Structure formats: C-alpha cells, structure tokens
Amino acid sequence: MIIVTEPTATEEQIERIIARVHEFGLEAQVNRDGARVIVGVIGPEPMVREKPLAAMPGVESVFPAAKPYRLAGRESRGTASTVDICGLSIGAESAIALICGPCSVESRERMLSIARTLKDSGARMLRGGAFKPRTSPYSFQGLREEGLRFLAEARNETGLPVITEVMDARDLPVVERYADCLQIGARNMQNFSLLREVGRSHLPVLLKRGFGATVNELILSAEYILNEGNTKLMLCERGIRTFETATRYTLDLSAVPLLKAKTHLPIVVDPTHAVGLREFIPQMAIASIAAGADAIMLEVHDSPGCAKSDGEQALLPDTFTKLVPRLRAVANAIGRDL
C-alpha cells in the first residue's frame, strides 16, 4: 500500500501516520522528497488492505501497490532517486558518470598507472576486481585484500571513488574497509542471502542483471536490498544470453528506458561485458547514453594482451581518451552533462 500525504500535512500528522502504521505491526518506508511525503506500507497483503489509514489527518490518498516490488517501484517514490558516492552523484538529475578500470586488480603499479590515466581522461569512479568470480576454478581469482589495498591507494592518489565486487557475505567486512561502493555481479543477482547482507551495509550498491534474468527479476532482487534499509542502490544492464553468439552477450538497451519507467533507481550500463569485443564497445557506450543511462561502466587496461582476465574486451587508454568527447557530445545532445 502507498500513502500520499497532503502538501499541507504537518510534521506531527506525518509522524502520527507513520506511528499508526507501526502500531498495526506493519513496516513504513518513508520518502520525503517533494511537497508530499510518500509512505510505503509493507506487510501481509490482507493485513495492509484492512487498516483504516485513509481517514487519518494529513492523508491525501491511499492506493494499493500494483506491483510486487513495492520499494523499487517508481510510484513508491514519485521521483527518480540519486545515489551519492563520496560526493559523486549518480541519477537522473546528475551528470552521466564514467566508471572505469581494469577487470582485475593485478599489481600496485598497474592499478596506480591506469587510475591516473582515467582521472586525466574524465572518469569519475574507479572499478577493479579484487575478488574474481571465474568460470574455471583454475583461472586467476583475484588478489583479495591486497587488491583492495591497491584500489584504496589509487583512490587516495586520484580522488576517484572505488567500486569493487563482493562475492561472499563473509568477505563483506573486509571489502567495506576499503571500497566506496559494493558491486553485486551478474552471477550473484539472485544470491538472496548476499543481497540481504549488502542491504544492511552503509555503502552504496550496484546490482548487475543476471545474464539469464528478466527485468522484473532484476527489480525483485533489488527489492531484497531495499527491504533491508539500504536505499543507495543502482541497477546495471550488462547483457543477457540469447541465441546470438557473435558477441559475448546481447546488450539489452531497451531495458534502460523500461527500468526507468518501472523504478526510481539510477541505471548503469556495462557495454564491456555485454559485447566482449573491444572494437564494438565504443559504439555501444554511445548508444547507452542515448538510451538514458545514468552511468557507463567500461573496462580499461594499459596492456590488454597481458591482462589476467578479460583482456580481449578492455579498451586501451588512448581509445578511452578519444571516446570521452564523443560520449560527452551525445550526453549534451539529450540535455545532460558528462
């Protein structure tokens, strides 16, 4: 159920509405943006329906949540949300952010070198995997805490906030010590115990769509995080598995406007993992901005032939530097900055 207050509702009336929801044994998720306060009421459907909340002073309207995702749904908030990461704002009203870095953190020197180049070229956030989910157990699995230290050192030198993947709830405390934003990878999109744990974290979260998941399944996975109280959440389209094998996956750009219509959450696109072939990634990054993405995630490596993971899809620094003005031109054409 969604409660919308009157524009003139007093703070005392709003607090009384919230208190009454709690008295009924229900949970209240409160959004105070705009003239009206929106209260999402969460609990068993029959119990929610029978409670006499519409007659309370300060209530303008009460209507059922039409979708199974009550917190991620756009109507639960009324406006698009933004996520702040160390002063970097990602969302509909903000400049489009470029989140870049190597697939894996491989060494201190390489991480620092790439970070400096990215900073000078226009990246706003640094990515790099310290814990790597790999198809083969014999592939490089990441430097773990040592890799996290290298990421943190690169952040301290460049000022770029750091995002890195957390694969296991047992690793969450150590990742939180170093990272500014948590990434849930495609393989863990429906790891519900992990989603609950990051939902209790104080850090923002980027949730990637599973390569076999529908848009609605992605949103319902987001609901697990939001339901634990972490509202600093972004969704990421990174390609889905179809019958086509010419590229690594199929980049579903239609998901960007669809997710924006269905949810209030910022939408990120990762064309690197979707395409998997570096020569076509710039075009899909440009298309992602035109489709309405709030941020673009790109893999960049200064020596892809020596990369310990996914070198074939990493952009060279020079290619990235030349791509940024093209991305900015498209962003400006649709009324946004980069």
Residue 180 within a domain: yes
Q: Both 26 and 102 in a single domain?
A: no
Question: Which pLDDT score, from 0 to 100, does residue 30 have?
Answer: 84
Q: Which residues contact 253 (CB under 8 A, 6 or more apart)?
A: 237, 269, 284, 287, 288, 291
Give backbone dihedrals phi and psi of 207, rounded to 5 degrees, phi first.
-105, 115
Question: Which pLDDT score, from 0 to 100, does residue 232 have?
Answer: 97
d(CA 212, CA 241): 6
Residue 72 within a domain: no
Tell me the sheet residues that pair with 268. Answer: 236, 295
Residue 74 within a domain: no
Q: Both 207 and 306 in a single domain?
A: yes
324, amino acid identity = V
What is the per-residue pLDDT across 239-291, written as a single tens digit (0 to 9) for each? 999 999 999 999 999 999 999 999 999 999 999 999 999 999 999 999 999 99
302 three-class SS? coil
Q: Both 53 and 87 in a single domain?
A: no
Six-digit token string for 119: 């900073």
Q: Specify the number of domains making up the chain.
A: 2
Please state which of the ranges 7-11, 61-65, 128-132, 333-337 shows the lowest mean pLDDT: 61-65
d(CA 263, CA 261): 6
Question: Which pLDDT score, from 0 to 100, does residue 111 have?
Answer: 95
Geometric angle at alpha carbon 265, from 34 and 166, rounded to 5°: 135
Q: Do residues 97 and 90 make contact, with C-beta atoms less than 8 angstroms apart?
A: yes
Residue 8 belongs to domain spanning: 2-65
Residue 100 within a domain: yes
The secondary structure of residue 63, as a DSSP letter, is E
What is the per-residue pLDDT across 218-252, written as a single tens digit (0 to 9) for each? 999 999 999 899 999 999 999 999 999 999 999 99
Q: Both 123 and 36 in a single domain?
A: no
Q: Both 104 and 232 in a single domain?
A: yes
Average pLDDT of the chain is 91
Tell me: pLDDT of 32 over 90: no
Tell me: pLDDT of 323 over 80: yes
Question: Which pLDDT score, from 0 to 100, does residue 66 have?
Answer: 61
Question: Which pLDDT score, from 0 to 100, does residue 47 have?
Answer: 56
Between 28 and 128, whose confidence is greater? 128
Q: Both 51 and 107 in a single domain?
A: no
Question: Which pLDDT score, from 0 to 100, does residue 298 have?
Answer: 98
Walk across the sheet containing 38-42 and list its strands. 27-31, 38-42, 2-5, 59-63
Question: Which pLDDT score, from 0 to 100, does residue 133 have?
Answer: 74
DSSP code string of 132-177: ---SSTTS----THHHHHHHHHHHHHH---EEEE---GGGHHHHHH
Nearest residue to 298 via CA among 98, 12, 3, 16: 98
d(CA 110, CA 112): 5
Mean pLDDT for 202-231 is 95
Mean pLDDT for 25-49 is 74
Please state which of the ranges 100-109, 115-124, 138-147 shows the lowest mean pLDDT: 138-147
Q: Both 45 and 90 in a single domain?
A: no
Q: Both 36 and 123 in a single domain?
A: no
Q: Both 254 and 145 in a single domain?
A: yes
Q: Taking the CA atoms of 239, 261, 123 and 146 in sequence, report the sign of the dihedral they define.
A: negative
What is the per-residue pLDDT across 289-307, written as a single tens digit (0 to 9) for each? 999 999 999 999 998 888 7
Residue 73 within a domain: no
Q: Both 50 and 86 in a single domain?
A: no
Which residue bears the tokens 């987001």? Answer: 222
Residue 123 within a domain: yes
Q: Would you place residue 2 in the very low, low, confident or very high pLDDT band (cuts 50, 70, 90)?
A: confident
The structure's pTM equals: 0.83
Six-digit token string for 326: 């093209």
Question: Which CATH number does the domain housing residue 185 bear?
Answer: 3.20.20.70
Q: Give the end of a domain, one of 39, 65, 91.
A: 65
Mean pLDDT for 166-195 is 96
Q: Both 174 and 310 in a single domain?
A: yes
Tell me: pLDDT of 319 over 90: yes
Question: Which CATH number does the domain housing residue 44 bear?
Answer: 3.30.70.1140
Bridge pairing between strands 97-101 and 295-299 = parallel
Residue 70 within a domain: no
Of the CA atoms within 13 Å of residue 311, those in its CB half-sphere come to 9
Q: Both 228 and 288 in a single domain?
A: yes
Question: Which pLDDT score, from 0 to 100, does residue 34 have?
Answer: 64
Q: Do residues 239 and 211 make contact, with C-beta atoms less than 8 angstroms apart?
A: yes
The secondary structure of residue 8, as a DSSP letter, is T
Six-digit token string for 180: 């500014």
Residue 208 within a domain: yes
